[in-house]
Amino acid sequence: MVRTVGSRGPKTMEAIRAAGLRLIRQHGYEAITLRQLGQEVGIQPGSMYNYIQSKQELLFTLIRDHMVALSAEVATALEGAADPLDRLRRFIRFHVSYHIRRTDEVFIGGSELRSLEGENRTAILAMRRDYERLLVVILEDGMAAGQFKRTDPPVTAYAILAMLTGVCTWYNPAGRMGEEDLIRLHQDMILGGVLASGAQP
C-alpha cells in the first residue's frame, strides 16, 4: 500500500533519514539506491519521491542537518565564555561529546563530502569553514592575550580538529575510559601543546 504525505509524513521522513544514515555508513553513498532505501523503510519505490527527489538530495540533507546541529550546539556550549582558555576548554568538551554521540553523521559528513555535487558541496564547505573559524578565533584571541603560544592559528586549528574528530573512529563506550575521562585527556593534551610558557591551565 502506497503511503501519501500526511500525518505520517514526518515519521516516514525520519525513518528514511535514519535508514539513509545507516546504509550510507555501511555500504557507501555510491553503492546504495533509492529502491534499496524504500525497501529498508517499507514503502514502494515510487512513493520515495513524496519525500526526496534524489539520492543526492538525501545526502545533502543529512550532511547539512548535521552541520546545522553542530553549529547550533557549539554556539550554546560557548555562550557566555569570554576568556580564550575557557572557550578552548568548552570547545574541546563539546566537540568530543558531539562526535562520540553522532558517529554516523560525523563519518558520513567527512567520508562522503566527495560525493556532494555543485552547490551542495559549496554550501557544506562554507558551513565547515564557519565552524573551523570558531576555533581559529579562539586561538587568535588566546595568542593576543598571551595565554597561547604564537603559532599559525589555522594550521593549529586543523591539527586540533583532526585529533578531536578522530575519537569517533576508535572510541568504545564500553571500554575502560568514560566520556569525562576522554574529554579531560584531550583537554590536557591540547592545552599542554598550546599554552604559552607561564600561562595557568
Q: What is the DSSP string of 99-110?
A: HHH-HHHHHHHH
- Bridge partners (DSSP) of residue 148 are 195
Place 1 in a pLDDT band, splitting at 50, 70 and 90: very low
Q: Give start and end residues of each alpha helix (H) in 2-113.
A: 9-27, 34-41, 55-78, 84-101, 103-111
Residue extents of the structural domains in the chain: 1-53, 54-194
* pLDDT digits 0-9 by tens, 61-115: 999 999 999 999 999 999 999 999 999 999 999 999 999 999 999 999 999 999 9
* Residue bearing cell 578522530: 166
Asked if pLDDT for residue 133 goes beyond 90, the answer is yes
In the predicted structure, residue 199 carries a pLDDT above the cut 80: no
CATH fold for domain 54-194:
Tetracycline Repressor; domain 2 (1.10.357)
CATH of domain 1-53: 1.10.10.60
Residue 145 has pLDDT above 50, yes or no: yes
